[in-house]
Chains A and B, each alone.
Chain A
């Protein structure tokens, strides 16, 4: 898997990001420069920038990996990530822009005129941001591990350092151009290789992707185990190499692996023969290619609950992501915010056509990943595995570079918005120094978390961040924008009632091993119960505390909903009953 070209590609992307960042620093030096520029940014640029920031590790490597392992149920990830923008478009895009809020806490304060609501929203935004950063770092670790063989923590460290230094120096900050460029880079990096791979697949005779057999090794395949792995073999396989099997040391010799479960030691390296059925990871259900292609093949305990929970989390969670909201400020007005979101929908739709193809071709060409459990690597490994020689290496390098761009751009967006929240609301340190300290903190916390997490698939982890956003900040936005009855107390209790259980569930799944308990899916996919909880509590408590409706709610509503060009601001002498 190691390839010099891929290392070069990753380095080029990392250095390019730093260079463009420092160059951009010279171009847009002051905040006012940025504000002026923001008025002239066209919806197309803005939409590309949103796409660039949004398409993260989960989109670039995670989705393909999950589809590769679990089949079409996982298609709800790309569908949900895109449909989330439709919900955002129809429910919050224009009012959010009109509120003039730069971050979610800003919105909370503008709508409720309450520092407490703002504080709760800040803490939740921070938690969601960190939960979202963690899989980016894990993904980076995986990418670097795949292309260079470096240990997992190296990639996470590289991304943290590049992003933190870059954000601290002020580069990359709100530079629409850089993020817009990142979208097109990622689209190229995922589209060009898959075009070649489809051609190669056709040339190889377009082997069926849904044969009623278990995946088999397409060639003699050398597999290296990066951690101790328990696998299950369907039939006896003759393997060669060195390592430990069931505690027995084998040095460069042949060994017949009988059918059943086997523990393969860390650092083992074995060659599996062509045509042999691929043993699979013991914790993963094994499917023939035919049954894999059908819904519910993941064989979770409550498959329907899991799918619906995922749908709810992704459809409603997008609007609560801290780095997505910031981008809406760069639209000149509410109408442009809507048009921008529509273009984003289009850009995401094009991108998300690609990952499922990687996942499906992976069943034929890289089935050994089902055995090592590194399913997230399928996008990275596929090009070099399908195309021999320099062509495959170059395509592999392109994919690796694109993946790294994905980690860098999403992490930068997140770190910028987290640092903003930290310096303004938590540390209360103003100025450049406060922002720099906050940036350090925003980067270090998730880096530390990577050392204790249990290595779940990156798209699943991102799904948890979506679930927390959907159960806390989504009710705040939806009800805050569309109902005049929401009170300060209602907003706070709703955010906590939805957010705290979702967050707890997420942390428990990430940092402990819940194994096969019946409540496992309730914790790993909490949205189906925490989202209704958040909405209900926020609305009911508000109805019970109607005396605490924030002052000037009618004026706020005028600001949120009236088109800007009418000169309406509801700023006349307050005479009517505010609470009506």
Chain B
């Protein structure tokens, strides 16, 4: 569905876990503070920072997509009320309000949703790489 970031290869998620538990990590694991997963599970300050970074990134992404889409839809009633002649314009044989709200909105919503899903999954992958680094 989405393209993995360069350098990661098309490795599915279960494979990523195997890398973490591979024997090579045995030595660093003794010095446990280095695993982000552990930091988070043990609720250290560093773990909290990891989580906060993820939550902030996701919150910023979600809010920006929402604001762009809802904002651009939200100005329409104002525009039509300030400039009533806009309502009389015609696009593809339909009145402009009809064209915008019946036809144009839905592909835009889908596109925004698709973009969001792609970005959200990418930032989760980056987070996984960060915390699973031995």
Chain A residues in contact with chain B, CB under 8 A? 72, 75-76, 78-79, 82-83, 85-87, 89-91, 94, 210, 293-296, 303-304, 307-308, 311, 315, 335, 338-339, 341-342, 345-346, 349, 352-353, 356, 482, 554-555, 557-558, 561-563, 565-576, 580
Contact = CB atoms under 8 A, between A and B. Distances in A.
Given A570-B40, A576-B45, 7 more contacts: A304-B81, A311-B73, A338-B121, A342-B113, A554-B48, A565-B17, A568-B40
Contacts of A567: 17, 37
Nearest to A571: B41
Contacts of B107: 349
B92 interface: no
A209 to B, nearest CB: 9
A interface: dominant SS: helix
B97 A294 contact: yes
B77 A563 contact: no
A573 B55 CA distance: 22
A311 B58 CA distance: 24
B39 to A, nearest CB: 9
Given A72-B97, A294-B88, A575 B114 contact: no
Contacts of B69: 83, 86
A563 B42 contact: no
Nearest to B45: A576
Interface string B114-134: 101100110010011001100
A562 B61 CA distance: 16
A558 B40 contact: yes
Given A294-B84, A562-B51, A353 B98 contact: no
Contacts of B58: 561
Contacts of A303: 81
A3 B69 CA distance: 44
B98 A86 contact: no
Interface string B4-20: 00000000011011000
Contact of B37 (A76, A349, A568): A568
Contact of A304 (B42, B65, B77, B110): B77
Contacts of A569: 41
B48 A580 contact: yes
Given A296-B81, A308-B77, A580-B48, A210 B95 contact: yes
B27 interface: no
Contacts of B25: none
A225 to B, nearest CB: 32
B28 interface: no
Contacts of B128: 563, 565-566
Nearest to B17: A565
A572 B42 CA distance: 4
B42 to A, nearest CB: 3
A339 B127 CA distance: 19
B97 A576 contact: no
A576 B48 CA distance: 8
A307 to B, nearest CB: 4
Given A79-B105, A563-B128, A570-B43, A295 B80 contact: yes
Interface string B26-57: 00000000000110111111011001001100
A45 to B, nearest CB: 17
A482 B37 CA distance: 21
A294 B94 CA distance: 11
Interface string B99-110: 001110111011
Contact of B98 (A75, A304, A572): A75
B102 A555 contact: no
6 contacts: A311-B73, A349-B110, A352-B106, A554-B51, A563-B128, A576-B44
A90 B43 contact: no
